[in-house]
A = this chain, B = another copy of it.
Amino acid sequence: MSKTELETGDQLSVRFDENGLTPAIVQDAQTGEILMMGWMNEAALQQTLETRKATFYSRSRRKMWVKGESSGHIQEVLEARVDCDQDTIVLRCKSHGPCCHVGYNSCFYRRIDMDGLRLETVAQRVFDPAAVYKK
């Protein structure tokens, strides 16, 4: 596929990396908040588009996982987008519960102090992980 076709065509042709993965960004469709970034292999992308539930590939566990399969906090995909060179996905989602396993709505709950390079938590915890992720 030529660069022009890739960038301006209507054919989905995701360019997975050398490990067969592509980054997928989850955004709250209503608020615009960026909730998380996960990795997808081709099967995870296909399952996401078919089921409309955000599904990723875990590099550490080496298997697919459905966001919310443990917590019940699924991300329902209302719209999916691809970028110009088709190597990154954005999922605009309806959240069914907070996104981050640490207990926040978004995984990006810490601001980088650009002068001191320290982190400052700028969000409120909305659930207790110990109560949600039962052993």
Contact = CB atoms under 8 A, between A and B. Distances in A.
Interface of A: 7-12, 23, 25, 27, 31-34, 36-37, 49-50, 52, 77, 79-84, 88-90, 100-102, 104, 107-112, 114, 117-122
A100 B11 CA distance: 19
A73 to B, nearest CB: 14
Residue of A49, A50, A122 most packed against chain B (CB within 10 A): A49
A90 to B, nearest CB: 5
14 contacts: A10-B118, A10-B120, A11-B119, A12-B117, A12-B119, A23-B23, A25-B25, A27-B32, A32-B33, A49-B114, A81-B109, A81-B110, A84-B109, A88-B107
B111 A81 contact: yes
Nearest to A39: B23
Given A81-B111, A102-B84, A112-B49, A119 B23 contact: no
A77 to B, nearest CB: 7
A10 B84 CA distance: 35
B118 A11 contact: yes
Nearest to A17: B59
